[in-house]
Each structure stands twice: as structure tokens, then as C-alpha cells.
Amino acid sequence: MLALQGYYDGNTVQPLGKIQAKKNQKLIITILDEFMEETPKDGTHSVRGVLSEYAKPELVKEERSAWEKAVVKKYGDA
């Protein structure tokens, strides 16, 4: 008996490894209560919004002058 991992993509069962079974060999398929994380079909991965939990909207106004303030703080007003 052989066990292997895979997932159901909505149409077919996709194995995560090589299947070492022969044609017409019987299978037992067990459905788990765990899910695979979906990835985009074109192979690219999006990280959009991944850092949104750290965003501070109240500081957006200060971003325009942040560089100037940092330079003045470090080097003084010339």
C-alpha cells in the first residue's frame, strides 16, 4: 500500500508527488478537512496587501516631509 498527497483543483485530483501506480490499479481516496493555499494560475505570486496590517493611515500626511525632517534631525538645518 502506498500513500501520497495531493489536492482537488475543482476539476481533477492533482498529486503533489510522482504516482507509482500501474494502469487500472485500485485507489482509496480520503478527503481531509484541510485546504491548500491557492496560487495564481500564471505562476506569479502576488504580495499585494501583505503588509496592510502594519499600515498607519494617520501617518500618511507626514510622509511628504519625512525625508526632510530626517535629514534636518541628523545633519542639522544648513
Q: By percentage, how much of the chain surpasses pLDDT 90? A: 9
Residue 66 forms part of a structural domain? no
Single pTM value for the model: 0.41
Residue 21 forms part of a structural domain? yes
Q: Could you give the number of structural domains in the chain?
A: 1
Residue 15 forms part of a structural domain? yes
Q: Specify the residue for cell string 481533477.
A: 12
Residue 10 forms part of a structural domain? yes
Residue 6 forms part of a structural domain? yes
Model pLDDT for residues 30-48, shown as the tens digit of each residue: 888 888 777 666 666 678 8
Task: Find the domain containing 14 and state its range.
Answer: 1-36
Residue 73 forms part of a structural domain? no
Distance, in Å, from the CA atom of 38 to the CA atom of 71, rounded to the nearest integer, reads 44
Q: What is the mean pLDDT of the chain?
A: 85
Residue 20 forms part of a structural domain? yes
Q: How confident is the model at residue 72 (pLDDT cuts 50, 70, 90)?
A: very high
Distance, in Å, from the CA atom of 72 to the CA atom of 57, rounded to the nearest integer, reads 24
User: Pairing mode, if any, of strands 6-8 and 13-15?
Assistant: antiparallel
Model pLDDT for residues 9-34, shown as the tens digit of each residue: 889 988 988 888 889 999 888 888 88
Residue 44 forms part of a structural domain? no
